[in-house]
Amino acid sequence: MVPLRPFNAAFRKAAKLPFVSCLAAPFKSVCYFSTQKKPPLLEDQPLKEVSNEETAALQPGRSPETSKRQETRRLNSTPHPRGKNNRQGDVPENKPFPKFRTKALPSTIKEEFRNLRNDDFVSKQKKPQRHLCLPERNQGSEILFGTAPCSLALGGSKRRFFQLFLKASRDGTSPGAEKFSQYAEERGIPVKRVQKKVLDALCKGGVHQGVCLEASPLRPLAWQEGPLHRAPVGKGSQRIWLVLEGIHDPMNLGAVLRTAHFLGVDGMVMSQRNSCSLTPVVSKASSGVMEVFDVFSTDDVQELLKTKSEEGWEILGTVGHGKIPEDIPVASCSDFRWIEPTVLLLGNEGYGLRPETQMLCHRMLTITPGRDLEFGVESLNVSVAAGILLHAICNQRNTSEIHPRVTASEGEGAESTAATDCNQKNEPTNILA
């Protein structure tokens, strides 16, 4: 019985016996029976005043110290009348959640947080990019990119080729990439398969379509050195040259090249000064036409125009709508009649032809708009204007007057007809055809 005495004492002091009453309803009520002595009811005791300490003591989970702290907070939160020496900033605000109240930060700390940047936080710092290892290149070479420029360049003989880069793929090589690889290996050109990031870096973000080709630069020949000016032209022959003066944008130059090649322009000459060079971007914009269409250059456009004018060629300039030059007749491109060899001039994207060049023109062609135009949009892009003007002229060509293309690969003293017939056999081909 001795071991049971602590148990009996604890049981008599406070024991809760749950009793579950069985009811017909789906809910059951749980009753607790305790042997602990309960305080007498308030109805049996006389009324008396109860202090705040006693009230706080009667509430469960509270102590007199807690009630004192709450009373102090309540007194501090009560607004006091402001006098001469009292400032508004000394009165604390009466907020419903005092425990979330924060102290005002000094101005220096605010300025410090204001000057923080994202890179000051470790979680927001960008991960350092790994250094991309690019393949070694030959000095002075350039990177052609895109399937059309690379295929037409490999099919021609204007450049020297160093290495071919193809995109490495886990799904296997595509038929186009397989043709590139086979064609390059037959000609002893090294082929390297690299990741897409390497190709992006080689072409500086251009659309490479998985193919890049390292080759020597393509530089235009002087128009006096090529066979272009030696081709015999009779009176009334329908020949047309396109001369570009001061074209800056490589995308415009590539678009003009593609349009001229498509519409059958016989020769193309561009000025050396203040003009875009024949870059891989021009080759991409021309869809590879720059690799098969000969482009010549001149350092003196006025000398070229004087020479062709003495040979009986008609010099046609171009001007925007409403910009009528003095002492030079202006005609619409739709009213022009092509009856003799012609040189068509296109000027800079911004200011057009220079005044000294305009003075050497026999006539000026313009494109008539279909409505009244606002200031600033009274002209077209140079590549769009070239397409409209060349189509209006070349559309008048007789089928019997279509001449083979004269290339820079012809012999020095060969006749043009025989040379073009021989050149047709060695016409550049597209390796993807």
At 423 the pLDDT is 36
Who's near 359: CB < 8 A, 6+ residues apart?
328
DSSP string of 169-235, one letter each residue: -TT---HHHHHHHHHHHHTT--EEEE-HHHHHHHTTT---TTEEEEE----PEETTTSTTTTS---T
Question: Where do runs of H (alpha helix) occur along 14-146?
Answer: 52-58, 64-77, 107-114
Give the class (CATH, top level) of 221-370+380-395. Answer: alpha beta
Residues of the chain with CATH 3.30.1330.30: 142-215
The matching CATH number, chosen from 3.10.290.20, 3.30.930.10, 3.30.1330.30, 3.90.1200.10, for 142-215 is 3.30.1330.30
The ranges of the chain annotated as CATH 3.40.1280.10 are 221-370+380-395
Per-residue model confidence (pLDDT) at position 178 = 86
Q: What is the pLDDT of residue 132?
A: 73
pLDDT profile of the chain (433 residues), mean per 10: 60 51 48 53 54 58 63 66 50 51 55 58 57 83 93 89 89 78 90 90 89 92 72 72 94 96 93 91 94 92 92 91 80 90 92 91 92 82 94 82 52 38 48 67
Specify the pLDDT at position 397: 84
CA distance 288 to 262: 12
